[in-house]
Amino acid sequence: MTVRETILCVDDEEGVLHALRQQLGARFGHECEIATASSGHDALELLDELERDGERIAVVIADQIMPGMKGVDLLELVDRRSPSTTKILLTGQAGLDAVVSAINRANLNHYLAKPWDEASLRLAVENLLRQYRLTAENRELIATLSAKNQALLEMNRELEAKIHERTHELAEANARLAQLAVTDGLTGLYNHRHFHERLALEVERSARNGLPLSLLMIDVDHFKHYNDHHGHPAGDEVLRQMARLLAEGRRANDLVARYGGEEFGLVLVDTAKFTAAKLAERIRDRVASHGFVNADAQPGGTMSISVGVASFPDDASDAEALIQAADDALYAAKRAGRDRVVLAASAAIDPGSG
């Protein structure tokens, strides 16, 4: 009897597990078992059970952010107990550290950003199943050849080392390409496209969990004036410094993105509107007190920002409407004289009140 390979999916969100079961089952259900676990600890218990039953674990797909055990820690344990099992890390987090850590600690084979593209997921699993099967066939061949020719075995070890090194290099390159696809080249923040994707995902999560979500739309005041008088390289440096100021002190699950030009977006998960407004005031103060070069030549004598604040579900029922509500508040701040925070469907917060 032929033993079917198992694809194990690990995520703490049932909706994500359902999507993975559905998408992978439609493509691979005829040849593989699709198993799921809702935490790293549950996954390890399931792996023990499957291994006792003689099942072959071909692919493990794990989310990075889970309660109790992060995806990279789970994949490291999987790699220790079953080096031939291939591994995919799913994450919606900014930054490359977790991915590089997974490559180095767990011999990660592939990285996919949430929300993933179904075709990319299928292609990645197809390639990793092929790699797993080739590795299994290679082990059997090595066992046969080792009994006949020790020299050939040594040659094969060297070849495997080269393949492993090349696989590692390709995995790092894939991670960097995936990161570049969602990163703004000037500021290093998330880009416009990924901002829309993540905001839609976070709005769905907030609706599902019954928790608030707030959005800050932030625009640098009189930025054209600064560019016209000091040049575009100086303006680019202002945007880079502005990105660092916006990212200071943010929580891991919050999202900072360059929306376009001199406009930025800040998604605050599990945050009500007035809490978001207080944070917006602190950011406005931080910008005003920062020592931007030639800021004293700006209208008003300082570099400043205008901020529009809107919240789900109070001000909008979906992601696009939330952006529109925050944008409307932002332009109300501009019309009111700039250098201020305005809440959607409410009065402006006077500068210095937060």
Cα radius of gyration rounded to whole Å, the chain: 25
Task: Check if the beta carbon of residue 114 is closer than 8 Å to that of residue 133.
Answer: no
**Both tokens of residue 280?**
């917006």
Catalytic residue selected from 76, 202, 262, 263? 262
Q: 76: helix, coil or strand?
A: helix
Q: At what angle do helices 71-81 and 97-106 cross, to 10 degrees?
A: 10
| φ, ψ for residue 260, nearest 5 deg | 155, 140
The C-alpha atoms of residue 323 and residue 329 are separated, in whole angstroms, by: 10
What is the spatial order of strands in the sheet that 110-113 belongs to?
32-37, 5-10, 56-63, 86-91, 110-113
Residues whose CB is less than 8 angstroms from the CB of residue 277 and which lie 6 or more positions away in sequence, other chains included: 309, 341, 343, 349, 354
Q: What is the DSSP string of 85-103?
A: SEEEEEE--SSSHHHHHHH
Known catalytic membership, residue 126: no
d(CA 69, CA 215): 29
Q: Tell me the backbone φ, ψ of residue 249, rounded to 5 degrees.
A: 75, 5
Cβ–Cβ under 8 Å, residues 112 and 121: yes
**Coil, strand or helix at 28:** helix
Do 285 and 354 form a contact (C-beta atoms < 8 A)?
Answer: yes
Catalytic residues: 262
